[in-house]
Each structure stands twice: as C-alpha cells, then as structure tokens.
Amino acid sequence: MEFLVASAIGVLTAAGVYLILRLRTFPVILGTSFLSYAVNTYLFATGRLVVGAPPILQGHEAHVTYTDPVPQALVLTAIVIGFGMTAVVLMLALAAYLSGGHDKIDLQEDASEDRA
C-alpha cells in the first residue's frame, strides 16, 4: 500500500512540474493543481494509513494502533482552499487571455514585440 501511495505522489509531482514548465497559462494552472494534490496525498499519508483503526486513541492502551485525525483535517481544509484559489486563478487567466488575445507566458517574446 505504501509503495502505491508513494508512486502516486511521485507521478503527481512529476506531472505537476512538467506542466508548470510549459509556456501556456492553462497547463501551469493544471500543474499547480497536480502539485497541490501531491502535497495533499502526502499529508494524508502521514496520518498512518490504517484500515479500520479508530481516529482517536481510546483509553490508556499503549499498544493500540490509531489513525491521526489532524492530517485529515488539514487535507480537507487544503482541498477547499485549493479549489477556491484555482477558481480565482482560472478567472484571472481567462481575463488575461480575453484582453491580450493569447495565453503565452514567455515575457522575452513580448518584450521583443514591444521594441519593434
């Protein structure tokens, strides 16, 4: 199970970095979303992935396996905030595309067009 989760985090991180290095706004936004999914999965995995374990340690039993509820609450909060920020950034990218007529990120090309 741990190998599967670690592989998923690695694939999400690699895809996110690849998309961030593109020169268009939509792949960059998608890449940052993939990176946030990778971080959320990592945080969720830090809460000990145990099936059927209680989220809170009951009693004073030292040998009982439990699942930490704090990473789950952090991930839930991060998902909601990430969704809202993605919507805001998408609206900004759409407004920039409609006003500029393109969605390129390369600033050097825009500077050379201004000089001509």
41 assigned to some structural domain: yes
Distance CA 27, CA 93 (A): 11
43 assigned to some structural domain: yes
108 assigned to some structural domain: no
Q: Which domain holds residue 30?
A: 2-51+66-103
Instruction: List, for residues 59-68, the tens digit of each pLDDT value.
Output: 666 666 777 7
15 assigned to some structural domain: yes
Give residue 60's pLDDT.
65
- What does the DSSP 8-state code read for residue 24? B
14 assigned to some structural domain: yes
7 assigned to some structural domain: yes
99 assigned to some structural domain: yes
- As for how many domains the chain has, the answer is 1
Give residue 108's pLDDT.
67
The model carries a pTM of: 0.74
The pLDDT confidence band at residue 46, using thresholds 50, 70 and 90, is confident
Distance CA 51, CA 48 (A): 9
Report the chain's mean pLDDT, rounded to a whole number: 83
